[in-house]
Amino acid sequence: MDDSNPAVADHAAAPQSSGQASSQAEQARPSSPDPWAEWDAFVEGRPDTGFMQSSWWIDFRSFYGFAHFGATLKDENGIAGGAVVLKFWHTEDSCFYYIQDGPVLPGDESEGQAVFQAVLGVIEERRKTEPGVVSHLRIEPRWPRVPDFVRGFLSVPPLADHYLEARDTRCIDLRPCESAILAQMKPKGRYNIGVARRHGVSVVEDTSEKGLADFQSIYEETAARQGMQAKPADYFQTLVSLFSPSNHGSIFFAEYQGVRLATALVVYFGRRATYFFGGSRTLNRQVMAPYLMHFEVMRKAKALGHEWYDLWGIAPTNEPNHPWLNFTAFKAKFGGEEVHLAPTLDLVFDTAAYDRYRAIENSTDD
């Protein structure tokens, strides 16, 4: 495929079998009639990955300049592991590879090592075909720790550049009954939910054009208040248009006296519902609208069969001056448990190109 247009190159390239996951692997196994459907079913059934390995997320990324290719490994039981690898050209002649929520590996460590090495092998073969330099491979797996067999990667600090996702989060267990979910919250969180109910706050879902406009308005107000750069409206328009057909997300609002005070864009995937973006207005803060909204999101997610509500981003531990401290304290009121994933990891292929990448990102941050 012609790679002259990085924004669309590889867009139709679904994951394909690329090697042996174990000694029992079937190299000649017939391909699935729909490789994307097979891959989506595999990753959605796994607790150790997320929606950023799904086909609709890859489609979403293609709108913003990311190409992709796949490396999947099969044995006699089907897919054993693998990854969808994104590719982005950060200069005219340099790109990097990016695996979000992956690679996805078997639970057995020896098999996991075999699949990981096979994925790296596919990536190395692909790198040889690129028309420019590949500066590095970045991975962001949902691993609690880095396995011993993962070597040669650099640990990337949180917020080091804007091609990073949160590695620290807070998750609420939705498997207990509703009263138990409330009981495990901090007293202030439970109390504020009651305050919102007494004030008559209601929670609705709306992914219409009006809903998207209201979401953008509240989100931008929140971003400005927190000193964060807001994403443009077309980011969310595209995102919602891609996850809505498969019922993988929604937008929630907390309303008081006809005014929308808080919003949450929620992604549904596998065992988790994820609070991906959102915000609240300073107007009528006394009615505690965001608290009831998040509790209603939990109730909806539980009804849909999801086991966890992922609040998506908190400040890392032992960083008292971290810019996320305010909303980290807010999320803590819902109880649950902190989850600290392995750091973002970079495998540098070309030191000079990687240094240029870091210089560009640092200048962008400034």
Q: Looking up tokens 């803590």, which residue turns up? A: 332
Of 125, 115, 122, whose CA–CA distance to 147 is shortest? Answer: 115
pLDDT digits (tens, 9 = 90+) for 233-283: 999 999 999 999 999 999 999 999 999 999 999 999 999 999 999 999 999
Burial tier of 142 (Cβ tally within 10 Å: 0-12, 13-18, 19+): buried
Distance CA 192, CA 208 (A): 29
User: 49: closest CA among 318, 239, 199, 271?
Assistant: 271
Confidence class for position 12, pLDDT limits 50, 70, 90 = very low
pLDDT at 325: 87
Short-list 40, 37, 58, CA closest to 270: 40
Name every residue whose Cβ is closer than 8 Å to that of residue 283 and which is 6 or more positions away in sequence.
259, 261
pLDDT classification of 32: cutoffs 50, 70, 90: low
Supply the pLDDT for residue 365. 53
Are 119 and 112 a contacting pair, CB within 8 Å?
A: no
The pLDDT of residue 314: 94
Q: What gap in Å lies between CA 337 and CA 171, rounded to an integer? A: 6
